[in-house]
Amino acid sequence: MRFIYLKEVDSTQKYLLKALKNSVIKPPVCVWSEYQTAGIGTRGNSWIGERGNLFFSFAYLKNEFSFVPIQSLSIYFGFIFKKTLNNLGSKAVLKWPNDIYLSKKIGGVLTQIVENHIVCGIGLNTQKNVGEFESLDIKIKNDKILKEYFETLQTKPSWEMIIDEYKREFELTKDFFGIEGDLSDDGAIIKNNKKVYSRR
């Protein structure tokens, strides 16, 4: 994994997508910053970034994670990220399908397929609250979080292991989040005998 640190950037994901398109860099690669001025959120929303928080986007070749249901890549990357935070002492949980929470949202995960690349962006309030959001419940350097995350991610934990662990957490937290239904083995929510998939 190649790491590219930017002191300031409009969006790590925009930067990464442009660099991939122009063949300036090749995966596996991670672009990260502690100040992002125009981050991308889900459904076209922006992710406002305060200086000192953690913002990163990474790319792999699509076939490297072909064992993960394509519609559940954000769950896969997000749950491993949440587990990394837990291993470092945080009580964070993953809200289906792609938000990192304490009592309020502290971060989010956005994954897309671009040609033969998987591109995932993660934002996390490690230092400062932003608006109605919350910040991480442990004090730790951003580069330490990245190091621990990618060390785990590059072992490529099986989808079966990740979804099995997440299903147990989902059952414990779904009432808090007001989510109805059960989590299926492919990451969809089963409600009224129908599957609902994440579009994020």
Task: Output DSSP code: residue 77.
Answer: H
Alpha helices in 9-158 (DSSP H): 12-21, 73-87, 142-153
Runs of H (alpha helix) within 4-130 = 12-21, 73-87
Q: Are 184 and 190 in contact (CB under 8 A)?
A: yes
- Given a contact cutoff of 8 angstroms between Cβ atoms, the answer to whether 40 and 16 are in contact is no
| Mean pLDDT split into 10-residue runs, the chain, 200 residues | 94 95 95 83 56 95 96 97 98 97 95 95 86 89 97 97 98 95 95 78
Contact criterion met (CB below 8 Å) for 55 and 39: yes
Residues, the chain, total? 200
Domain ranges of the chain: 2-156
Tokens encoding 40: 């991308």
- Rounded CA separation 92/81 (Å): 10
Asked whether 65 and 159 are in contact (CB, 8 A), the reply is: no
The amino acid at residue 25 is I
With beta carbons less than 8 A apart as the criterion, state whether 93 and 101 touch: yes
Q: Which amino acid is at 127?
A: Q
pLDDT score at 45: 52
Phi, psi of 46 (to 5 degrees): -95, 155
- Where does residue 193 rank: exposed (0-12), middle (13-18), buried (19+ CB within 10 A)? exposed
CA-to-CA dists, residue 200 to 50, 108, 110, 121, angstroms = 23, 11, 6, 12
Nearest CA to 184 among 172, 197, 169, 199?
197
User: In this structure, what DSSP letter does residue 25 have?
Assistant: S
Q: What is the pLDDT of residue 47?
A: 55
Residue 85, pLDDT score: 98
Please, what CATH class does the domain formed by 2-156 belong to? alpha beta
Q: What is the pTM of this model?
A: 0.93
